[in-house]
Amino acid sequence: MVSLKAGGVGLNLVGADTVIHYDMWWNPAVENQATDRVHRLGQKNSVSSYKLITLNTIEEKIVEMQKRKKGLVKKVVSCDDEAIAKLTWEDVLELLQT
């Protein structure tokens, strides 16, 4: 068992086989990094990852915001001229907001 912050400082958990996120973070990259700590060289187990979200709470809103931001990033990173043309100033501001 490790917190997101402790998992983000270089601790690799190659003996683990389950990742459970129960403390949502605004930045999905932080959660991904914590999950990736279990998927390291030397890992012999298959790894299951779960995210616990309670309905009608701030966690649910955070997950929705993360999904929107991931969609916007895909539009920008894909360098599709059509997608870039459809990108609004509000979309860009949403990507930059915390």
Q: Mind listing the pLDDT tens digit for each residue in 42-74?
A: 777 788 888 888 899 888 888 888 888 888 777
For residue 32, what are the domain limits?
A: 1-52
3-state secondary structure of 32: helix
Tell me, yes or no, whether 3 and 29 share the same domain: yes
CA 6 from centre of chain: 16
Q: What is the number of domains present in the chain?
A: 2
Q: Does 17 share its domain with 63? A: no
pTM (predicted TM-score): 0.59
- Kindly state whether residues 25 and 60 are assigned to the same domain: no
Q: Grade residue 2 by pLDDT with cuts at 50, 70 and 90.
A: low
pLDDT in tens, 10-23: 666 667 778 888 87
CA atoms within 13 A on the CB side of 62: 17
> What contacts 12, CB < 8 A, 6 or more positions away?
37, 38, 40, 42
| Same domain (yes/no): 8, 19 | yes
Residues 71 and 88 occupy one common structural domain: yes
**What was the pLDDT predicted at 78?**
67
Instruction: Answer yes or no: do 48 and 67 share one domain.
Output: no
Q: Give me the pLDDT at residue 65, please.
A: 84
Residue 60 shares a structural domain with residue 98? yes
